[in-house]
Amino acid sequence: MSKALTIESTPSTRVETAIEKLREALLRGHFPPGASVREIDVCALCGVSRTPARSAMLALHSEGLLDYVAQKGYRARRFEMANTQDAYAIRGVVEGLACRLLVERGLAHLVVPRLQALVALGDKLIRNAEKAPFDTAAWSQMNADFHKILLEPMNPVFDEVSGYARRVPHAAPTTTADWRAQPDIDLIKSAQNDHRKIVNALANNEATRAEELMREHLYNAGEVLRRTLDATMAG
């Protein structure tokens, strides 16, 4: 991982590639847990300037793979797949219960229109991928918004518990389970189909089905992440 990488010239591509390569380096243990990760190190590792390097470090901090210590900067964080899969399971229980209670408490109408708009956005992003590179950043933001909106009408304890799980490395909804710069579009379509089914269940006041679909959706995301990690470590 010490060899600098040749990256295309567009700023977005430089950032995306730097994120992908820094993520892989952290998962492979290039930086031991607790080790300082400096901008200059990321620049040398990925062959980018300081601005893309800073963007990559910020992104990996949001994914939980880097810690930030005041006046000391970023530090590598230990990553254990078992912890992440457990975090997905916890999110599945909490967010699944939220889906059920939204229906049972007559609150689903507060979120369904906004969720339908996000499903439409997901459809658009998938269609656009037929003629251009998939917009991973836009998809990640859409996914984060989807899961955030579901919890908004609930007691704040739901967001607190789910938030704890989301802080585990790679368990945040901004993380694409297939974390490559250009993920498998079939996996994206599968996640999109999950979203559509969840929204339809909420719209049809199917409390138990909505809960089960959300739990299955997040379980599948954890499994995709595990397979992606296995492939990364074997590569």
Structural domains of the chain, ranges and CATH numbers in brackets = 12-76 (1.10.10.10), 81-234 (1.20.120.530)
Q: Which two tokens stand for residue 68?
A: 């930030």
Task: Report the pLDDT value the prediction gives residue 10, as an integer from 0 to 100.
Answer: 53
Q: Which two tokens stand for residue 204?
A: 């049809």
Task: Report the pLDDT value the prediction gives residue 2, as an integer from 0 to 100.
Answer: 37
Task: Report the pLDDT value the prediction gives residue 11, as an integer from 0 to 100.
Answer: 63
Task: Report the pLDDT value the prediction gives residue 58, as an integer from 0 to 100.
Answer: 93
Task: Report the pLDDT value the prediction gives residue 55, as an integer from 0 to 100.
Answer: 94
Task: Report the pLDDT value the prediction gives residue 74, as an integer from 0 to 100.
Answer: 95
Low-confidence stretches of the chain (pLDDT beneath 70) = 1-12, 175-182, 232-235
CB 11 within 8 A of CB 39: no
Sheet of 36-37, strands arranged across: 36-37, 73-76, 66-69
Beta-ladder partners of 66: 76
Q: Which two tokens stand for residue 213?
A: 């679909």
Q: What DSSP character marks residue 28? A: T
Task: Report the pLDDT value the prediction gives residue 177, as an integer from 0 to 100.
Answer: 55
Residue from 8, 9, 54 nearest 22 by CA? 54
How many CB atoms lie under 10 A from the CB of residue 106?
10
CA 76/CA 13 separation, integer angstroms: 24
CB 196 within 8 A of CB 119: yes
